Amino acid sequence: MRVYFHGTVELSARELLDGAPLDRDVARQRSAGSEGGCFYLATELDDAIFLGSLHDASLVVIRIDIDQVALARLLDEGCHPQPIPLAGARVPFAGEELVVVPSAFGTFNTLRETGRIVFDEQTID
């Protein structure tokens, strides 16, 4: 099991935590990343907190557990790990990010429905 984190605004977090699937159009509208329309998952909580705080709204961090089978499927469909772009940070990030590409959203949603990907709200201290 790999653990990832996604920092986002409260409205988006509530939708995702209530079971909303990843959607290309929604991701394109909300994405602040360099690859617009992708869904970004940080490997480190502090990185997700920083990236989520770039939005001008209340921050919620979602913990996302992805099992090995699901991760392999996503990688086969073009999702990829990469260093996190600095995005205004003064120091490099501690971890990296998994970029979930829009063409893999359907697979991601199916893996979530079958329990291979699990979302939960992360407590921020």
Give every CB contact of residue 13 below 8 A, 6+ residues apart in sequence. Answer: 60, 61, 62, 121
Give the pLDDT confidence score for residue 103 in this predicted structure: 95
Give every CB contact of residue 23 below 8 A, 6+ residues apart in sequence. Answer: 105
Give the pLDDT confidence score for residue 62 in this predicted structure: 96
**Residue showing tokens 């991601």:** 108
- The structural domains of the chain, with segments of one domain joined by +, span 2-122
One digit per residue, the tens of pLDDT, for the chain of length 125 reads 999 999 988 888 999 999 999 998 877 776 655 556 899 999 999 999 988 887 767 889 999 999 999 999 999 999 999 999 886 777 789 999 999 999 999 999 999 999 999 999 987 76
